[in-house]
Amino acid sequence: MKKKSLCIDFYEVEDLTELSGEDRELLEAAKEMTSNAYAPYSEFYVGSAILLENGKVVKGSNQENAAYPSGICAERVTIFSASAQYPDVVMKTIAVAARNPRQAMDYPISPCGSCRQVLLEFELKQKNPIKILLTGETGKVYIIEKAIDLTPISFSSDDLKRLLS
């Protein structure tokens, strides 16, 4: 038996002036989208925004449903919407923000496993990295340079191809 380790590198920014104007605008759009979230059960309001290579920004928010797990996370709403509207346009950067009225969220929120898998799928499909910006209502921002860094031991279409061949 061999023990192995995985490690990811990411950036942590405490002063938003360290970010490009493009990234600050995208984070602001994600924060604004938390107001469009439908989260009456969890009160966990998540917004996201994706910057596409053509300069368009596609936005989304989480949508809950009393019949769990019928809801969908903000990241997937946004990614699927971007893919449906602009199927051949590269997704450059996604920003994700969250808020909760019961507790100040002054720390970055990370995507769930399903969202990580979807981000990875589209990153592999477009053969270009998707930069990920994560934040709460206030506080620091995490910057992950590519989706595969969030899912280092991942399942992809290559695995399906091996299984089906």
DSSP string covering 74-140: HHHHHHHHHHHHSTTSPEEEEEEEEE-TTS---SPPPP-HHHHHHHHHHHHHHTS--EEEE--SSS-
Whole-number Å distance between alpha carbons of 158 and 87: 21
Reported as a pLDDT band with limits 50, 70 and 90, residue 161 is confident
Domain locations along the chain: 11-164
pTM (2 d.p.): 0.94
Q: Which residues form the catalytic set?
A: 75
The pLDDT of residue 152: 86
Average pLDDT over residues 103-116: 94
- In CATH, the number for domain 11-164 is 3.40.140.10
Average pLDDT over residues 51-59: 98
The pLDDT of residue 100: 95
- Closest CA relative to residue 122, chosen from 89, 152, 153: 89
pLDDT in tens, 59-98: 999 999 999 889 999 999 999 999 999 999 999 999 999 9
Whole-number Å distance between alpha carbons of 54 and 57: 9
Whole-number Å distance between alpha carbons of 1 and 28: 47
